[in-house]
């Protein structure tokens, strides 16, 4: 076992209140592309840059194009949890992990069995009518033609935080509470460039901040340990 992986395993063994903070890289081993890796969505060619398509103003002005991209590139109905999701669920069951804080919208942590998941950017599994508030599941949206419409005639919007939209304040407070009270913070599969989410890790004041990523992040200098590699393989190796 690599030295860094050994230390990670040792720290997990000694910790009692681990918090995991993750991003799109957690789900690439489940076949869902991230945004900023070489084969991520931002390196593919679209009519508009993806960050513009998944913004609030674009959604308002051009819902047809938004939904064409969203259904094609953001929804992966057959994706299954990988070793990273499963290892984190196991740590929670063992009473060692208090929360998973995720920027992901795919619902794979819950599918793996994690109970306390704070979804900073919402979920593709929840969708609401903008007029009457009626709830719709993922299948309804994915199977609809073009822009999904409610039985009342209103437009249905996914409960995901688009660029230009604010995060839920209660969710932010819960996430900050968990990070402040953590005895170990594992940050994985995130480029840490999307704010305000990325700034949350700054409130951790302990001495066990671990970054697991395939490439450098903006917060490498803050980490107590950096483990380079695929997060599913790494967490699969260190969690029994
Ligand atoms: P990002 O694309 O900016 O960064 C992903 C990071 O993960 C990169 O640094 C990359 O090197 C790393 N990475 C990729 N695969 C990895 C692996 N197997 N193991 C370890 N590291 C790996 O993603 P982000 O920081 O989460 O920010 C982008 C936004 O993208 C988020 O707000 C999120 O809502 C959204 N998003 C979500 C999904 C999803 O729900 N699965 C997918 C794409 C984008």
* DSSP code at position 219: T
Residue 50 CB less than 6 A away from ligand 1: no
Look up the pTM and report it.
0.95
Q: CB of 230 closer than 6 A to ligand 1? A: yes
34 pocket-lining for ligand 1 (C-beta < 6 Å): yes
Encoded tokens for 129: 């009518």
pLDDT for 129: 98
CB distance 194 to ligand 1 below 6 Å: yes
Condensed to tens digits (0 to 9), the pLDDT of residues 141-156 reads 999 999 999 999 999 9
The pLDDT tens digits of the residues spanning 39-54 come to: 677 777 677 888 899 9
Which residue lies with its CA nearest to atom 6 of ligand 1?
190
- What Rg value do the Cα atoms of the chain yield, rounded? 18
> Which sequence spans correspond to the domains of the chain?
1-32+80-121+167-240
Give the distance (Å) from ligand 1 centre to CA of residue 42: 11
- Beta-bridge mates of residue 149: 155
- Residues known to be catalytic: 121
Whether 37 lines ligand 1, by a CB cut-off of 6 Å, is yes
pLDDT at 124: 98
Residue 81 banded pLDDT, cuts 50, 70, 90? very high
Q: Could you write out the DSSP letters of every residue in 77-140? A: TT----HHHHHHHHHHHTT-EEEEEE---S-HHHHHT-S-EEETTEEEEEEEETTT--EE-HHH
Please count the CA atoms within 13 angstroms of the CA of 154 that sit on its side-chain side. Answer: 13
**Ligand 1 neighbour 42 (Cβ under 6 A):** no
Q: Using CA positions, which residue lies closest to atom 32 of ligand 1?
A: 103
Helix (H, G, I), strand (E, B) or coil at 38: coil
First to last CA, the chain: 14
**Residue owning the nearest CA to atom 17 of ligand 1:** 230
The band of 1, judged by pLDDT with boundaries at 50, 70 and 90, is: low
Condensed to tens digits (0 to 9), the pLDDT of residues 181-225 reads 999 999 999 999 888 888 999 999 999 999 999 999 989 999 999
Reply yes or no on whether the pLDDT at 57 is more than 90. yes
Q: How far apart are CA 32 and CA 12, in angstroms?
A: 27
Q: Which atom of ligand 1 is nearest to the CA of 124?
A: 40
Ligand 1 atom nearest the C-alpha of 190 is 25
Per CATH, which fold does 1-32+80-121+167-240 belong to? Rossmann fold (3.40.50)
């Amino acid at each position: 076992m690599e030295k860094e992986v050994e230390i990670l395993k040792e720290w997990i063994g000694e910790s009692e209140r681990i918090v995991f903070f993750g991003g799109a890289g957690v789900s690439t081993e489940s076949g869902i592309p991230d945004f900023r890796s070489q084969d991520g969505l931002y390196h593919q060619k679209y009519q508009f840059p993806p960050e513009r398509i998944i913004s609030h103003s674009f959604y308002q002005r051009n819902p047809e194009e938004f939904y064409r991209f969203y259904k094609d590139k953001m929804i992966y109905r057959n994706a299954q949890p990988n070793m990273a999701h499963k290892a984190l669920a196991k740590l929670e069951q063992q009473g060692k992990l208090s929360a998973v804080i995720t920027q992901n919208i795919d619902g794979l942590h819950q599918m793996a069995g994690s109970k306390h998941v704070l979804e900073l950017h919402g979920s593709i599994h929840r969708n609401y009518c903008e007029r009457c508030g009626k709830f719709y599941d993922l299948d309804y949206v994915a199977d609809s033609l073009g822009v999904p419409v409610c039985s009342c005639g209103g437009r249905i919007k996914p409960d995901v935080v688009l660029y230009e939209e604010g995060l839920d304040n209660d969710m932010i407070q819960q996430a900050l509470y968990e990070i402040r009270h953590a005895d170990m913070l594992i940050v994985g599969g995130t480029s840490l460039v999307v704010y305000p989410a990325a700034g949350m890790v700054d409130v951790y004041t302990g001495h066990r901040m671990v970054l697991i990523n395939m490439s450098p992040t903006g917060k490498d200098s803050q980490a107590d340990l950096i483990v380079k590699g695929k997060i599913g393989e790494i967490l699969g190796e260190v969690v029994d």
